[in-house]
Amino acid sequence: MILMLFNMSQNKLYLRISELKIYKMTKEKSEDRYLLNELVTLIENTKTQIISTVNSSLTLLFWHVGNRILTYNLKNRRAEYGKQTVVTVSRELVERFGKNYEEKNLWRMIQFAEKFPEFEKVVTLSRHLSWSHFLILIPIKDKKARDFYGNFAWKKLIGVRELRK
């Protein structure tokens, strides 16, 4: 059984895979031990892949939401009414999908799409960085610095705490 929960306010992904409980066999065979080790490795690797896939998918979803709102406001020349659009859309989305789509979070998504306008780059980075990484990168005003720190976090595999420094 797999249970996944994402808490955007704390930027944490919780993944629980039911644990294997292994009881000692009276006659353990080396083949059984080998099989057990293989299964444990398979489960652990899959757990890591699931977390990575979910993080990447959520990051891409947030980019698409921000980009769509941004495009809608620009296309309809509604920049002056953009704030009201976000408030209205947020109310509906929160009602349907929960607190992840509160107004402040939608504004973060819009900023994300503004600061990272190249979708291909977002796809590449989202495979290696979490939404929490992007939340640290978004406020960086200088594009070169933002790109540098994004690539640095990816290539050096640094966590969110290290990136904040």
| Closest by Cα among 127, 150, 121, 124 to 53 | 127
Sign of CA dihedral 123, 125, 129, 132: negative
Token pair, residue 94, equals: 């929160």
At 11 the pLDDT is: 47
**Phi and psi of 27, rounded to 5°?**
-125, 90
Residue 53 lies in a domain: yes
Domain span at 50 = 2-17+36-164
Q: pLDDT (tens digit, 9 = 90+) per residue, 42-91?
A: 999 999 899 889 999 999 999 999 999 988 877 666 656 667 888 899 99
At which residue do the structure tokens 């720190």 appear?
Answer: 149
30, 34, 40, 41 alpha-carbon torsion, rounded to 10°: 150
pLDDT the model gives residue 161: 79
Within-domain flag for 30: no
The answer to whether residue 149 is domain-embedded is yes
- Tell me how many domains the chain contains: 1
62, 131 Cβ separation under 8 angstroms: yes
> For residue 27, is it within any domain?
no
* One-letter amino acid of 93: L
Q: For residue 67, which of 139, 103, 116, 131 has the smallest C-alpha distance?
A: 116
On whether residue 147 sits in a domain, the answer given is: yes
- CA–CA separation, 146 and 27 (whole Å): 58
28 confidence band (pLDDT: 50, 70, 90): low
**Residue 102 or residue 19, greater confidence:** 102
Q: Report d(CA 114, CA 87) in Å as an integer.
A: 19
Which of 2-11, 47-56, 89-98, 109-118 comes out lowest in average pLDDT? 2-11
In a domain, 26, yes or no: no
User: Residue 28 domain-assigned?
Assistant: no
Residue 23 located in a structural domain: no
